[in-house]
Amino acid sequence: MSQSGPDSALPPGSPRAARFFVGVLWNWLGVAINIAIGLMLSPYMVRKLGSERYGIWALVFTLVEYLSFFDLGFSTAVVKFVAHYRARKEPDEINRVINTGLLYFVFAAALFAAAAVAVAAYAGALFQISNEGYRQDFRFLIVITGIGWGIAFPFQFFTGCLDAFQRYDHLTRAWIATLLIRAVSCAVLLYFGFGLKALGTMVVLGQIAGNVLAMLLFRSMFPAMRLSPSFVSLPLVREMMRYGMHSFLANVSNLFINQAPPVIIGHQRPAAFVGYFTLPLRLLQYSVDGVARLGFVTRSNVAEMQAQGDERKAYHLGIYLNRYCVALFAPLVIFLLVYGRELVRLWISPEFALYSAPLLPVLSIATLLAVAGQFNSGAVLYGLGRHSRMARGLFVEGILAAVLVWIVLPRYGILGAAWVTAAAMVFNRGLYVSWITCQALHAPYFAYLRGIYLRPLLTAVPVLLLDYALKLWGLRGETWSELLLIGVLTAVAYLVPALFTCASPEHRRLIVLWLRDHGR
């Protein structure tokens, strides 16, 4: 491993480095728009809907996400196989993957929609919803979103194809179209006094429109695409199933990890508490999406490296990308540790500040270590096709977290639920996933952890002390102008030094060259 320098994974000036960097920038453009929409729309929804209906809204999408287990891991298999055959320049094999996968997705879509109707018939009795009108809205939302997601399911297949072709410009355009349709339509409907049923319908239409656009964009940049039963291959189904089953277990486990606590809370507590618990997760998710989108770029690049015999470079790629994700996520965590309560009070309401703000320190630190710091390790394992143990680890984490939440919630409330989910997250996704990544790459474990965390965390210490000092000296975050000033100061105070402490000279030079070329 030592024969390959840390920057050889992405040598500046190489086509792969430029393509990777452009892919990251396109993904982060979409993330920036998503953050802007979320920061503006979430408080507006809470105020217009009220805490209980907002909790119902969050609970519905939590339940509908469970239905995506019908994917059976085919989405990740599509990315892996299409990227592999693209690197080998075999368009006929790509068409085999497309037609075989698409046939499965059409079949799965029908099951998805039928399952949503079945779930809606019984879900209302399982949760503490205060009146029959809200329960009717709840059932309608499950049906309309389930059927809508089922219709969108086959078209969503093509987002994986765009990912495999590393066309993140097209992928981001489709994502932005979905976000804008959802956001604008929801804001207009709320303004004119419409309720949950109308909101759910427009969200479904936005999802379908974005996925159809992804299909059209992929068709425009891969004119060799052919849709024909002659390309369907049963042996390929079995091959994709073998790869996808581990992905399926990982995906279902991730769903269980993310969605089980809100469902348990909705069962044991009033629906409003689902909103209190999910709001901090939603706030963090806006930034986590940037890490996840980078992981999509990583996955297809590692698959290409493996196809071309460059597997050893994935170790250094994992270190640098995980480190950069920690560095990019750290300013938000620092800000939330010191001014999280003030932000929620101004952004949403004093009620949410009372219940949601205490969860922010616990969840933000765990997310920094386990998600920002190791998401790309999981992407490396996916790219290598060696993610089976990671899938089993996620399954154990999901079961353990759900059991612990069920036990601690009656006595310790949603703060106790946050603590046990955070602990399970750090032990599994923070420590275990990094360990099996190093085993897969035959690389030193502690050097991997040190390479990821040491520099970003040391850079964070003086900035955290600075924020505490600013609060003691009178910047208490009681107005939006103060919070914006503190946010800018925190970002600048961290990111400028991090450019020198965390980025390699070669990658720093690549950033400077890009800024110079695009700043003219």
If pLDDT is split at 50, 70 and 90, which confidence band does 271 have?
confident
- Residues near 290 by Cβ (< 8 Å), separated by ≥ 6? 27, 28, 31, 325, 328
Q: In sequence order, what DSSP letters do the residues of 392-408 get, joined into one string?
A: HHHHHHHHHHHHHHHHH
pLDDT value at 497 more than 80: yes
Higher pLDDT, 207 or 507: 207
**Contact between 279 and 355 (Cβ < 8 Å):** no
**Range ranked top by mean pLDDT from 144-148, 179-183, 470-474:** 470-474
Residue that has been written with the tokens 């309309």 in this structure: 144
pLDDT value at 345 more than 70: yes
Among the listed residues 211, 209, 205, the one whose alpha carbon sits nearest the alpha carbon of residue 102: 211
Please state which of the ranges 23-27, 408-412, 489-493 shows the lowest mean pLDDT. 23-27
Q: Hey, what are 82's tokens?
A: 């299409």
- Amino acid, single-letter form, for residue 406: W
Count of Cβ atoms closer than 10 Å to residue 259 Cβ:
20
Higher pLDDT, 214 or 490: 490
Inter-CA distances, 109 with 67, 76, 146, 466, Å: 10, 17, 10, 52
The residue ranges of every structural domain in the chain are 15-518
Q: In the predicted model, what is the mean pLDDT of the chain?
A: 82
- Extended beta strands in 87-200, E state: none
If pLDDT is split at 50, 70 and 90, which confidence band does 5 have?
very low
Higher pLDDT, 171 or 198: 198
What's the pTM value of the predicted model, to 2 decimals?
Answer: 0.69
Q: What is the pLDDT of residues 416-449, one digit of tens each?
A: 999 999 999 999 999 999 999 888 888 899 999 9
What is the enclosing helix (H) or strand (E) of 182? Answer: helix 168-191
Among the listed residues 3, 1, 136, 141, the one whose alpha carbon sits nearest the alpha carbon of residue 63: 141
Q: What is the pLDDT of residues 151-179, one digit of tens each?
A: 877 777 788 888 788 787 787 788 888 88
Length of the chain: 520
Beta bridge partners of 270: 128
If pLDDT is split at 50, 70 and 90, which confidence band does 16 have?
low
Please state which of the ranges 195-209, 253-267, 362-376 shows the lowest mean pLDDT. 253-267
If pLDDT is split at 50, 70 and 90, which confidence band does 361 have?
very high
pLDDT value at 304 more than 70: no
149: phi then psi, degrees, rounded to nearest 5: -65, -35
